[in-house]
Each structure stands twice: as structure tokens, then as C-alpha cells.
Amino acid sequence: MMSVLFSSYSCSQGTDEELISKDLDALRMEIYPKGCIFYIEDTLDNKPEEMMFLINRVLKTWGTAFTCGFEAEQENYEYIGDIIMPRGDDDEIRLVAGTYHAVCYTYDEDAFEYDDVDRFLFFGKRVNQIGVEYKVGETGIINKPARLFSAYLDNYKVDEFLDGDYFSMDPECLTQRYVWEFYVKKTDAMARIDAVEAEIDGVPVYADLRTQEFDASRIAKVKAFGVMSHEDSFEAGVDTVRLSVDVLPLVAPSHIKKLSLGEGSVGNMNVRMTITSKDGKSRDWLIRHRMDELDSIPVYDLHDDMIHISKKTSAPDVWEYKIEDDILVNRDTITSRRYGKWQVIK
């Protein structure tokens, strides 16, 4: 039913006049918002290209949904949102004076599921019950790691608080950027590293947009691809490998028992390296790094129910960690310098 996302849709029961005081003047009885203004103060890249916007009246079952694209970027990362919908005289959004709940959040069909939009439009779900989750493949790996921005307006009086003709939204980034850096040391000139790919576990997949809480008992894996400090060749030497991924805050290994998760289900980074020797033979090596350092810079709070977590307001934009151990590579074996950080799986 995703076709409804590119046009406005509303559902109502009863008449608007039932909710309007007779004392309100005619001008306040009908409001025609033109779109949204988003204030996103963010120093990182990958800001959303579109936002989903849902609004429903508090007192009556009525709601509408549309997507907003960004017309222009202003100072302080201010965006003017343009409603993607038919713009004819008969198709404008008409709101009556009153109190509403509204939510906006990143719209990226490749990254997220939007089943709650259908439930909102057709099955009575309310804005204060809306959530979004990553799309996860059959192998338990997130299809596309992406940043998630969200803002929620509670008891919003459209006849008083509209910024001119626009809703004014101040989305927060709910995700975290994780960066790992480590060194690969080739001990001979007979091997070339063709690819470095990691699978990282412990990613919550669901976010409640009103509370900005994540269900830490529902987790998946995410892939990250290593970027090397220089193009690799058949030469001995040291390469710096950098992995980066944007996801909801990773569940730390120390919370395994609290969350009733199985041992080994969180806190692992499995790195697959494709090594080619000069004779043309390629081999994949799988090595594991146990990410106990996830506890060193806490980016989230674990709630009393031991299931939900929420991102700390003091969390850094980027959680960066340098793994103090070298991966030693030659044409036949892979080992680690300290035999503690890395474990060769196969």
C-alpha cells in the first residue's frame, strides 16, 4: 500500500463542525498548511532526503499522511519541506482549529519498513503509537544501514503554533555513527588484500517514535565495508582499515544477561578478509573481534524494564574506537600480534 505515501490521504468520522466551537471565527475554522520547516542541526553527512509526516486530531478519528522533500538548504541546516501531493484547489490539506498529534521521521524505503503508516491510515493506529524498523533480510542482516531522524509534536494547536503556513519541526538523530580502526600488517610480499567486510551484531531494529525508545530484545546484524589507507598490492607493509556504520545504538555485551539474550548474540564484529596470493589463488579468512569496549563510552540508557533503551542526549555524534592489535597476514595464515583482540574463526 506504499503508493499512498506520495499523496495526501485522510480518513474521518463525523463532521468537522462537531469539534469547532461556535465562538471561533470563520478564519480560524479552516487552516491550509503548505508544508513543513525542518531544523536539523547536524554536522555529519547523510541527512535525510525526504521525511514522512503523519498528523491526527486528538479528539476524533481523523488523520493524514504525506512525504516532504527538501526544496533548499538554509543556514543552520534549515530545510523547507514541500508536500508531495496534488496541488489543485480541491486537493489542499484542510485542517480545522484544534489540537493534534504529529510526527515526522526519515523516509527511505530502501532502509525502513513503513507498515505503521498503513495501520495509521486504514486500521485506527494513532500517531502516538507509530514506530519504524529497519528492513532485515532472511539472513538476519539489515538491508541498508541508515540514519534515522524523528520529531514528535504532542497536543499541537494548529491554529496557534503554525510557523506562518508551515509546521515547524526539530528532528533529532536517533542513530549513532560507529567507527572502528585497526591495522593489517602483511609480513611478506606474496599476499594482496582484495576486500575487508564486517558483520556487526547487536543492532536494535525497532524504534518507537513518540518515546524515542528502541526494543533491545529485537536485534539484527549490519554489514560494514572496510576502507584501506591505500590501494593494496603485493608488497609487505602496514595498512590502516577503517569501518563505519550508522545504526540505532548497539547493545553492549554487558547487557546480555539483563536483556535475556544468548551468550555471543551481541558484541561481536566478524571481519571477512579476501586474500589473494601471487599465484592467483584467493581465500577468505574470518576473524572475530569481541567489542567489550562498547561499554567504555555509553551512548544509551537501559530502562528499568531491561528491554528498552534510549540514546543519551550526551552521546557523541561519532563513537570511534581504535583496536590496539595488528592483524598479521601472509599468503598462508592470519594471526594477531597480541592474541587477545582477534580470534581466527576459519
Domains and CATH numbers, the chain: 2-173 (no CATH), 176-344 (2.60.40)
d(CA 332, CA 185): 14
pLDDT band at 189 (very low <50, low <70, confident <90, very high): confident
Reduced to 3 DSSP states, what percent helix, strand and coil does the chain have, rounded to the nearest 5? 10, 45, 40
Percent of the chain clearing pLDDT 90 (strictly above): 38
Residues 6+ apart with CB under 8 A from 21: none
> pTM value?
0.85
d(CA 70, CA 117): 21
Q: Which of 18, 166, 50 is nearest to 102 (CA)?
A: 166
Average pLDDT in the chain: 81
* DSSP annotation of 265: S
Q: What is the pLDDT of residues 77-110, one digit of tens each?
A: 445 554 444 333 445 677 887 889 999 999 999 9
Give the residue, 269 or 297, on which the prediction is more confident: 269
Provide long-range contacts, Cβ within 8 A and 24+ apart, for 112-121: 112/146, 112/148, 114/2, 114/5, 114/52, 117/2, 117/4, 117/5, 117/52, 117/54, 117/65, 118/1, 118/4, 120/54, 120/56, 120/63, 120/65, 121/1, 121/4, 121/9, 121/11, 121/63, 121/65
Alpha-carbon distances of 246 from 138, 197, 339, rounded to whole Å: 21, 15, 29
pLDDT band at 221 (very low <50, low <70, confident <90, very high): very high
d(CA 234, CA 43): 38
Q: What is the pLDDT of residues 3-41, one digit of tens each?
A: 223 334 344 333 444 444 444 444 456 787 777 888 887
Cell numbers given for 182: 585497526
- H or E segment and range at residue 160: helix 158-161
Contact 183, 240 (CB under 8 A): yes
Q: What is the pLDDT of residue 61?
A: 61
Residues 6+ apart with CB under 8 A from 46: 146, 147, 246
